[in-house]
Amino acid sequence: MEALIEILYLIFVSPFAEMVAYPDLFFQGIWDGFVSGTLYGLIALGFVLIFKASGVFNFSQPILVVLAALSLVSFYKMGIPAWISVILVLVMFYVLAFLIERLILRKLVNQDGNILFMSTIGLTFLIIGSAQWIFGGRPSAMITDELGLPNGSLEWPMFGGGVYFEMIDISAAVIASIMIVILALFFSKTKIGRGLRAVADDHQAALSVGISLNQIWVIVWFVAGVVALVTGIFWGARSDVSFALQIIGFKALPVLIIGGFTSVPGAIIGGLIIGLGEKVFEIYWGPLLGSGVEGWFAYIIALIFLLFRPQGLFGDKIIERV
């Protein structure tokens, strides 16, 4: 009985007591969770863009993030100036998008969603193998200084302690927000954006009013590549650039579940929920379970959401007809 009370105390009382006793640590955790949540959201955004435009559940988005970061660093190491490397990576992604559309997606038009999804797993392996071959598999540091990103940190004293804001994290949050605004404008105001939404709504109707499906797919894969590049730069700055980033990329899947597969704001809000949730859980409840819970806690949050809202927060309601 005493042991039970002890456990209940550890679960329900002491974490909250710690939060109140050391508010600076709590805010530090919230900030870290916020930043990683933004980046999860960005990866999820890449998924959503492609799913919206072509109905393909693009499993290769995490590896695109790795590829972007890895090739950027490798180009720089070859002696190419940082900004030109960025442009080179963008060109590479455009070529890649074109090839994917021409060689894979075009041949699989009208196939079942599952088949398209599996073809993106195949694509993932193609990219892993080639990237490892060409760029090598060793982890390396991201070239943040050369890209003109600020480093160092701001300390903001509060509650007797201090909260550190890494400059790179602040710029990640700012650039992510700018990017989301640009994407939202791109989707609602430009001609291409309207085309994208039309394709998402109905392939055949879009074709019949003269929208080129193939062109739209190339564009959307390219945009997903750009999102991957931004995510890759900031994740690469937070940890090293290596293939382990792919596992982080998988965290975007629970984010999608929470936000819904078709919603851009959903991806961001889902990312924040996952980022904050897992950070706070890891700090306050993780030690009870022997730490390292960050690896799976996101999926558990997603499962709980699924039980109550199977279509996600902002997803379209699933209506089934027999």
Partner 1 sequence: MFYRETGQFKSKYKEELAAFPLFEDKIGIGILLLLAYVAIPLFGIPGLSYEFTLSAIMIPVVIFTITTLGLNILLGFAGQISLGTGAFMGVGAYSCYKLMTIFPDLNILICVILSGLVTAFVGMLFGLPSLRIKGFYLMVATLAAQFFLEWAFIRIPWLYNYNNSGGIEGPNKEMFGIIISGPQSEATTRYFVCLTFLVLLTWLASNVIRGRIGRSWMMIRDMDIAAELIGVRPLTAKLSAFAFSSFYVGISGALMVFFWLGAAEVESFDINHSFTYLFMVIIGGLGSITGCYMGAILVWVIPVLIKEIGKTSFGYDAFVMENLSIILLGFMIVVILIVEPHGLARLWQIAKQKLRMWPFPY
Please give the residues from 244 up to 273 whose contact with partner 1 meets the rule CB under 8 A: 247, 250, 253-254, 256-257, 261
Q: Shortest distance, CB of residue 302 to partner 1, whole angstroms? A: 6
User: Any contact of residue 302 with partner 1 (CB under 8 A)?
Assistant: yes
Q: Shortest distance, CB of residue 104 to partner 1, whole angstroms? A: 6
Write out the two tokens for 197.
């939404």
The partner residues of 92 in beta bridges, in order of sequence, read none
Q: Shortest distance, CB of residue 252 to partner 1, whole angstroms? A: 10
Looking at 84, 91, 108, 178, which residue binds partner 1 (CB under 8 A)?
108
Write out the two tokens for 188.
């609602």
Q: Nearer Cβ to partner 1, position 115 or 181? A: 115
Write out the two tokens for 225.
């590549």
Looking at 121, 154, 184, 205, which residue binds partner 1 (CB under 8 A)?
121
Please give the residues from 60 up to 79 whose contact with partner 1 meets the rule CB under 8 A: none
User: Any contact of residue 322 with partner 1 (CB under 8 A)?
Assistant: yes
Please give the residues from 159 up to 218 whose contact with partner 1 meets the rule CB under 8 A: none
Q: Shortest distance, CB of residue 113 to partner 1, whole angstroms? A: 8
Residue 128 dihedral angles phi and psi, to the nearest 5°: -60, -50
Q: Do 144 and 151 touch, CB atoms closer than 8 A?
A: yes
| Cα distance between residue 267 and residue 280, in whole Å | 20
**Segment (H or E) for 156:** strand 153-158
Q: Compute the Cα dihedral for 44, 49, 53, 58 and give only its sign.
A: negative
| Cα distance between residue 222 and residue 92, in whole Å | 10
> What are the angstrom distances between the C-alpha of 104 and each of 36, 99, 113, 206?
32, 8, 14, 21
Q: Nearer Cβ to partner 1, position 195 or 275? A: 275
**Segment (H or E) for 25:** helix 23-54
Looking at 112, 148, 191, 204, which residue binds partner 1 (CB under 8 A)?
112
Q: Is 153 helix (H, G, I), strand (E, B) or coil?
A: strand
Q: Nearer Cβ to partner 1, position 119 or 171? A: 119
Q: Do 47 and 252 touch, CB atoms closer than 8 A?
A: yes
- The pairs formed by 115-118 with CB atoms below 8 angstroms and a separation of 24 or more are 116/55, 116/56, 116/57, 117/56, 117/57, 117/59
Looking at 7, 115, 141, 205, which residue binds partner 1 (CB under 8 A)?
115
User: Any contact of residue 317 with partner 1 (CB under 8 A)?
Assistant: no
User: Any contact of residue 128 with partner 1 (CB under 8 A)?
Assistant: yes
Please give the residues from 21 up to 60 whose contact with partner 1 meets the rule CB under 8 A: 57
Looking at 4, 107, 148, 317, which residue binds partner 1 (CB under 8 A)?
107
Q: Do 61 and 224 touch, CB atoms closer than 8 A?
A: yes
Task: Give the x-and-dash track for 279-298 against partner 1 (CB under 8 A).
Answer: ----------xxxxx-xx--
Q: Nearer Cβ to partner 1, position 199 or 298? A: 298
User: Which chain residues interact with partner 1 by CB under 8 A?
Assistant: 57, 104, 107-108, 111-115, 117-119, 121-130, 132-133, 137, 247, 250, 253-254, 256-257, 261, 289-293, 295-296, 299-300, 302-303, 306-307, 310, 320, 322
